[in-house]
Amino acid sequence: MNKYTHISEKYLDPCPQTFYNMMKEIIQISKTVIDELLLLEYFVIPRLKQKIDSEVYEYLNNNLPDELSILANNCIIEEMRTETITIEDINEINISIFIEGYICVSQEYGKGEDYTTIDGNYPFSVPASLSVVDPKIIEIYFHDMDVDNSSWFGE
């Protein structure tokens, strides 16, 4: 594209047909670039969402939020569903995102004959940062997770 964007004396007086052909070529090249970017978006975004889902699930299993641990003797995360991922900020080092979703848990109570479980779903939100220093390695850093357990208390 360099020859089309850096005008030199060679291109000052082009014939109309040459100019038309060059413009047609610029449009075709631009369309190809945009199509490739769209294909890349369809590849990258689902993969990134899958990575975020996996990391959030692992984070929850390793760092059970207090809002869940106070609900039962044993609270087991059965499933985690990410509903929305919002991009808050992008710079040369990080992409700041805000994740919202639901945590599906099995709350275990009692022992022996008194043992019972209750399933619960609780909304959560967590800000996070994705390191983009090395595009081959996506590192996610979570900040304070908020889990809304108010439905358990009838609020």
Domain that holds residue 134: 14-153
Residue 48 has what pLDDT?
Answer: 79
Number of domains in the chain: 1
**pLDDT cut 90: percent of the chain above it:** 26
Concatenated DSSP letters for the chain?
Answer: -HHHHS--GGGSS--HHHHHHHHHHHHHHHHHHHHHHHHHHHHHHHHHHHHHHHHHHHHHHHS--HHHHTT-SEEEEEEEEEEEEEEEEE-SSEEEEEEEEEEEEEEEE-SGGG-EEEEEEEEEEEEEEEE-SSTTS-EEEE---EE--GGGGT-
* pTM for this model (two decimals): 0.69
Per-residue pLDDT of 16-69, as tens digits, reads 787 788 788 888 988 988 888 777 767 777 777 888 888 888 888 888 888 998
Per-residue pLDDT of 115-132, as tens digits, reads 899 999 999 999 999 887
Residue 46 has what pLDDT?
Answer: 79
Tell me whether residue 111 is in a domain: yes
Tell me whether residue 26 is in a domain: yes
Tell me whether residue 5 is in a domain: no
